[in-house]
Structure 1
Amino acid sequence: MAAQLQMHPAADASPAAAGTAAPGVARSPHRAGSRRDYVRLRTALLWLGPAIALITGVVVYPAVELVKASTGDYSLTGLRRGSVGAANFTQVLHHPAFATVTANTVIWVFAVVAVTIVIGLGLAQFLSKEFFGRKAVRWAVIVPWATSLIVTARLFTLALDYYHGVLNSLLTAAHIIDKPIDFLGNDSWTMPSMIAVGVFVSLPFTAYVLLAGLSSIPAEVYEAARMDGAGKWRTYWHVTLPLLRPALLVASVLNIIYVFNSFPIVYTLNDRNPGFAHDTSITFMYKLAFKSSEHSIGMSAAAGVINVALILIVVLVYLRSVKWKEI
């Protein structure tokens, strides 16, 4: 009995020891899972690392420096002399040309994007049809997109010239006008001319995005519409356009961003005109830093921050209006 009694503590200690060891055994799969998660995370970072580094260097770092510059005071040589807080933003918002530049930007972006989408939709419909030389026409449409914007804008500057422009020569020879039109110097013609060039360079991208959307619509959908007795226009409005919504969304959003930031076209076509009468927000920033009497890098940076905010607001309002989450 004594021997048995002496064995009870040992017997009691054994479950306790087992109970102590049990958590360790239970944690082993957890440790293995953590190890696997760590390996997966490391593998993902190895693949995503270059992209993250590129985004950090090209997007994040310049954005941080832009915000920092918008609150600073700089010399003509670019040396930071200190912080001025929100004074640069106040000066930009109270600038005499700010209202004009904002109105120009709204007109420029809305007109170019709207006209580009409408014409691009028709061009995409045309390019989706079978006809002789379709491949050559598709290659010709993409040329303005492949060409540098500076080169394209400079060519249009020559074509729209008052004295030696091709367009004035053709219109005069055809007796459509009696005397040349100053397309780039007359206040009534400068913005329409800029919009026309903006539409020209935006059409290839838009047409190809919409062409891709048209190509992705199954032929069975059109066959079902024909079997239901739908005509061409009814099929277009109730079948084609609804199924094109994703492509239209991509084309619209990207065009809004591109047109907002289109510096070469606006500056090249408008560089002969003094002041800010025909400038948009992107050229307004440049002139504040290098061309105007202010010569203020801080104000230019503040205008840049405001420009980014405007782009985000416009895009978010557009996405909300089209209910993009339902697409």
Structure 2
Amino acid sequence: MSSLSNLPPRRLGRAAAPLGWLGPAIALIGFAVLWPVYEMFRISFQHYSPDGFLLGSAGFRNYTKLFQDPNFGPIMLRSLLWVGAVVGLTMLVSLGVAQLFNQRFPGRRVARWALIAPWAASVMMTAIIFRWMLDPNTGALNLLLRDLGLLSKLGTSQADWLGRPDAAFAWMIAVAVFVSVPFSTYTILAGLQTVPAEVYEAAEIDGASPSRTYLAVTLPLLRPAILVATLINVMNVFNSFPIIWEMTRGGPGYETNTSTVYMFNLKQNFIGQSASMSVVNFAVIVAMVLVFLRVSNWKKEVA
């Protein structure tokens, strides 16, 4: 096989032409993806002072300290619960909303526009608004419950929604679902609008009930759209930071930390351990995506 140097100039130009299009993308991937990953792995084996000064090699000590931390296990379990709850609820709600928006009703266009708002707005701004709403003293929710006399029936004058780990975690899940539903809904809605009308006509002729048609016809045809929405949500939710940070800072203590927030908290004093936590997060998200693709038989969808 002849090398590129032996090709005529015209053929060499044609062979190198794709590099003009691929070159910027490859350079961007190298700068924005590969280089940070390399730095992440490198720093995880270094010993840094809290001020950021390199003190030498740490070997595997950062990983050893991280895995021996009593908070590590509960935080990883909470992270998996966070992803499972948010993604599961998001997909269930999005299926219902997409089915609704696929029907004709007065004001459908306005309703579709309104659904974009939680997705288009800043996630950080949304989290701050919910934090204000849940404030135990001046929050709109407490003021409403107080006016309705519901707080007095509970024997309290205020409810510290974000001060209790269980309530705070539930509210963070609700906010994450709130901001995730629009994208998933529109992805599923796009899938619904590609289903041929003839398929439903055939199911009706065969005497299939609406519920049977939905389970046997609609859901299987929506599988590619659901797969895409679920996969993107898994990655986004696992890496989610603004909602948790703005609502609770991961507190009280470490009770509402996920692995991403914990990584940031470690960075304040333990840079090497924070980098080790980054490597663990990277490995977990890759494993989750591979398992999900394996279970969902994505190759069949591509075929």
Partner of 2:119: 145
The corresponding residue for 2:32 is 58
Equivalent residue of 2:56, what SS? Answer: strand
Structure 1: how far apart are the matches of 2:203 and 2:51? 67
Aligned to 1:244, the other structure's residue is in SS state helix
Distance in structure 2 (CA, Å) of the matches to 1:73 and 1:63: 18
Q: CA deviation at 1:203?
A: 0.7
Aligned to 2:170: 192
* Percent of aligned pairs sharing the same letter: 44
Q: Deviations over 1:169-223 (max 9, x none)?
A: 2233334443432110012311101101110111111111111111111111111
Aligned residue pairs total 296
CA apart distance, 1:273: 2.8
Question: 235, 238, 241: which is aligned to 2:219?
Answer: 241
Question: How big is the shift at 1:37?
Answer: 6.5
Aligned equivalents of 2:281, 2:131: Cα separation in 1? 26
Partner of 2:128: 154
Could you list the per-position Cα deviations for residues 275-319 of structure 1 after superposition, in whole angstroms to 9, with x for gaps in the alignment?
A: 2111000000010011xxxx1111000000000111111111111
Q: Following TM superposition, by how much is the alpha carbon of 1:36 offset from its aligned partner in structure 2, in angstroms?
A: 7.2
Query: How many angstroms does 1:92 deviate by?
Result: 0.8
TM-score normalised to the size of structure 2? 0.92
User: Matched residues in 1 for 2:89 and 2:113: separation?
Assistant: 22
Structure 2 counterpart of 1:326, from 296, 300, 303: 300
**Quick one: distance in 2 between partners of 1:206 and 1:324?**
18
* 2:80 maps to 1:102: no
**Residue 84 of structure 1 aligns with which residue?**
58
SS of the residue corresponding to residue 77 of structure 1 reads coil
Higher-Rg structure is 1
Q: Measure how far apart 1:31 and its partner are.
A: 9.7
Comparing 113-122 with 70-79, greater Cα deviation is found at: 70-79
Could you say if the C-alpha distance between residues 183 and 55 of structure 1 is closer, same or farther in structure 2, counting changes exceeding 3 Å?
Answer: same
CA distance in 2, matches of 1:107, 1:34: 60
Is 1:134 the counterpart of 2:91? The answer is: no
Which is further off, 55-64 or 171-180?
171-180
Any conservation in 2 of the 1:160–1:168 contact (CA below 8 Å)?
A: yes
After TM superposition, give the deviation of residue 75 of structure 1 in Å: 2.1
Which residue is 1:163 aligned to? 137
2:282 paired residue number: 308
CA shift at 1:274, angstroms? 4.1
- One-letter amino acid of the structure 1 residue matched with residue 255 of structure 2: A
Q: Is this contact kept in 1: 2:244–2:250, CA < 8 A?
A: no
What does 1:38-53 correspond to in 2, within 5 Å? 38-53=12-27
Q: Is the 8 A contact 2:165 2:252 kept in 1?
A: no
Provide the rounded CA distance (Å) in 2 between the counterparts of 1:56 and 1:309: 19
Contact 2:260 / 2:281 at 8 angstroms: preserved in 1?
yes
Matches within 5 A, 1:287-302: 287-290=265-268, 295-302=269-276
Q: Deviations over 1:58-93 (max 9, x none)?
A: 111111111111111112332222211111111111
1:230 maps to: 208
Contact 1:153 1:268 in 2 (8 A): yes
- Which residue does the alignment assign to 1:260? 238
Stretches of structure 2 lacking an aligned partner (at least 5 in a row): none
Matches of 2:271 and 2:89 in 1, distance apart? 35
User: How big is the shift at 1:40?
Assistant: 4.0
1:271 maps to amino acid:
R
Kindly state the Cα deviation for residue 131 of structure 1 after the two structures are TM-superposed.
Answer: 1.4
Asked whether the equivalents of residues 185 and 272 of structure 1 are also in contact (C-alpha less than 8 Å), the reply is no
